[in-house]
């Protein structure tokens, strides 16, 4: 058995193309473009690449991109003042402060300062609470992208056994909430779980977000399971995921590659969330 490879690049392109078409309609209706503000503090190379890619994707979708690059020694008060300015700016529909921030800045305080209705990253506790109770809010982009990929394979997820590997606030916890909303039976496994493999062997769906290269072995995968690998780990062999791709591909029914799987969906979902935010602020229906 050889798994179907889930092409995240193709799915992301389709989503971004769809959003761009709706953005054109939005601009005709409102006379403005949805706006995304991205804030980068310092010169972290990986963060700079992410910010550049996000800015390009924003412009490609016909949206307005506002980039704010601050020096690494920027004081927290200066950053918080910028966030307050962006909260009040009617041209800005989404605010994203690129993490990680320099050590002298309290990242949680900065995230709390973002208006939850402009928090297109979905990291604010208000949006975490909205997700938990099923209210309208913003879902973190990576788990939302994972769900879109899964629903393409399984239009009806109801009743499926899902295991999420990892319990971070950015991926693991919101992923579990999204799967619960789809009526999956959800288990979260983590560093204190006694027998991770035993849980995974029962899973119809595996979402791996643990940050350990090739942690999940092929013989841990239930035959025919769908495997979504969120991990991006730099090794001597290049970028690899949290799943042993070669071994798992021989067992799984479908699997995402690394790179080219979940990664492209994260930026596509950021563009989607920004468009949705603009529609909500203009009291228009988001056509997605």
> What value, to the nearest 5°, has the Cα angle with vertex 127 and ends 204 and 13?
60
* Cα atoms in the 13 Å half-sphere on the side-chain side of 208: 33
Instruction: Mention every residue, 6+ apart, whose C-beta is less than 8 A from residue 119.
Output: 94, 95, 111, 126, 127, 138
CB 132 within 8 A of CB 169: no
CB 119 within 8 A of CB 138: yes
List, by residue number, the catalytic residues: 54, 98, 121
Strand partners, 162: 186, 205
Q: How far apart are CA 197 and CA 81, in angstroms?
A: 47
Find the helix or strand (DSSP H, E) in which 263 lies.
helix 262-281
């Amino acid at each position: 058995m050889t798994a179907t490879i889930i092409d995240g690049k193709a799915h992301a392109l389709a989503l971004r193309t769809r959003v761009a078409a709706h953005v054109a309609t939005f601009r005709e209706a409102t006379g403005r473009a949805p706006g995304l503000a991205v804030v980068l503090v310092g010169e972290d190379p990986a963060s700079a690449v992410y910010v550049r890619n996000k800015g390009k994707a924003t412009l490609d979708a016909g949206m307005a991109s506002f980039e704010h690059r601050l020096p690494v020694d920027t004081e927290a008060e200066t950053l918080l003042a910028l966030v307050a300015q962006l909260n009040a700016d009617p041209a800005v529909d989404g605010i994203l402060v690129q993490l990680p921030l320099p050590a002298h800045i309290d990242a949680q305080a900065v995230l709390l300062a973002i208006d939850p209705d402009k928090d297109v990253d979905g990291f604010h506790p208000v949006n975490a609470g909205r997700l938990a109770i099923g209210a309208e809010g913003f879902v973190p982009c990576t788990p939302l992208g994972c769900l879109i990929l899964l629903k393409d394979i399984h239009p009806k997820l109801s009743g499926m056994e899902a295991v999420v590997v990892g319990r971070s606030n950015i991926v693991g916890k919101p992923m579990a909430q999204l799967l619960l909303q789809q009526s999956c039976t959800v288990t979260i496994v983590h560093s204190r779980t006694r027998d991770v493999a035993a849980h995974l062997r029962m899973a119809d769906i595996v979402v791996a977000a643990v940050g350990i290269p090739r942690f999940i072995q092929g013989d841990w995968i239930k035959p025919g399971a769908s495997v979504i690998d969120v991990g991006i780990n730099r090794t001597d062999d290049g970028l690899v995921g949290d799943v042993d791709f070669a071994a798992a591909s021989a067992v799984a029914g479908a699997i995402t590659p690394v790179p080219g799987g979940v990664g492209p969906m994260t930026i596509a979902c950021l563009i989607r969330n920004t468009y949705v935010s603009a529609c909500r602020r203009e009291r228009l229906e988001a056509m997605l």
